[in-house]
Amino acid sequence: MHKRRGDLARERTEVGTDLLFADWISVGGVRADERVSVSVRADTPGVSRSDDWDGFGQRLTGSGTTVFENVQIAPENVYQFRDRGPSHLLAFFQLVLLATLAGIGRAVVRDAVEFVQPRTRTYAAAVNPVPREDPLVQQVIGQLSAWSFTADAAVLAAAEHTGQAADAARAGTLTPDLVDAADVATYQAQLTVIDLVMRAATTLFEVGGASATSTSRQLDRHWRNARMVSSHNPAIYKSLLIGDYLLNGTSPNTAWTAARG
């Protein structure tokens, strides 16, 4: 995408989350062989958005494809990547996804409890004829709760580091060390939270047999949504970045800094 006489040439973007609800859209581009970030009002002439997200999860996120065609861009809304210095944005973006996953983990516990409490049907091998009083069912609920608690704790710990970096950025005192600490914390949490929430979203079905798979309950949405959220910024790369940082002191922010110019 090249900026020409204050315009944006025709460009089709990747599917973006929340674009259908956005007032402003952020998109990357190239100007005279220089990478830039551009902020565009969603109602600007030449901007069109399509509700064409076809993923099996995150169906209500307002995701879709955006097309820009000869869109007028004010110069003050074009930003050079290299002018920004150290940035905690990667940690912040990942933290939003982690908080979403933690929320899914809480919803798993909530829905499991609501499913079991009124349930009267049980099985011949059940320890107790009342599902909510069955020790095996209670054990599953307890485990789901523990996984959710641990996911919450990991997200809060990552938020503490990211918050420190954000505070420093506002004060103009952000350092590479603070950015690294925020990145590492969020990546460590990512490697933990994904596993816990995905496991919880699967184990959920152990509390009620085939009845729990009823499409009217839509309990499968937790697994689908968690899987979709977990697919953003693949975790396999984060374990690599953490290992390189701990062993060799390589900043996890190096790739992001290089990409910005």
Cα(94)–Cα(96) distance, rounded to whole angstroms?
5
The pLDDT tens digits for 71-108 are: 888 888 887 765 556 789 899 999 999 999 999 999 99
Residue position matching structure tokens 């100007």: 31
The pLDDT tens digits for 197-226 are: 999 999 999 998 888 888 888 899 999 999
234/182: higher pLDDT: 182
The pLDDT tens digits for 151-170 are: 999 999 999 999 999 999 99
Q: Which amino acid is at 55?
A: G
Q: Is the pLDDT of residue 12 over 70?
A: no
Q: Which of 26-30, 56-60, 178-182 has the lowest mean pLDDT?
A: 56-60
The domains of the chain are located at: 3-83, 89-259
pLDDT of residue 15: 47
pLDDT of residue 22: 79
pLDDT of residue 232: 83
Q: Which fold has domain 3-83?
A: Butyryl-CoA Dehydrogenase, subunit A; domain 2 (2.40.110)
Q: Is the pLDDT of residue 244 over 60?
A: yes
16/27: higher pLDDT: 27
89-259: which CATH number, 3.30.565.10, 1.10.1280.10, 1.20.140.10, 2.70.240.10? 1.20.140.10
102/36: higher pLDDT: 102
The mean predicted confidence, pLDDT, of the chain is 84
